[in-house]
Amino acid sequence: MKGKRKSDASEATPTETVVRSMTYSADDPAPLVLTTIAKILLIVCAFVFLLGLSLIAVSAVGIVQGW
């Protein structure tokens, strides 16, 4: 049983396994979709963050000026 388990495991070191799992083959479309979704989410989050900052700034100016 022990010998069979060793033969099933790959000979790669843990670092190589992590690098292989992070790099994708060119013919696999899923990583491209995931990175596109991640970029869109990043842009949306940045936009919402800036919108929130501007809202805070406007309300702070309004409070200071006594509106």
- Cα–Cα distances in angstroms (integers) from residue 62 to residues 47, 48, 53, 55, 56, in the given order: 22, 21, 14, 10, 10
Structure token pair of residue 24: 């994708």
In the chain, the percentage of residues whose pLDDT exceeds 90 is 37
pTM: 0.47
Higher pLDDT, residue 34 or 55: 55
Residue 13 pLDDT > 60, yes or no?
yes
Higher pLDDT, residue 57 or 25: 57
Provide the pLDDT for residue 8: 46
Unique residue bearing structure tokens 């033969």: 7
Cα of 66 vs its chain's centroid, Å = 42
Higher pLDDT, residue 4 or 63: 63
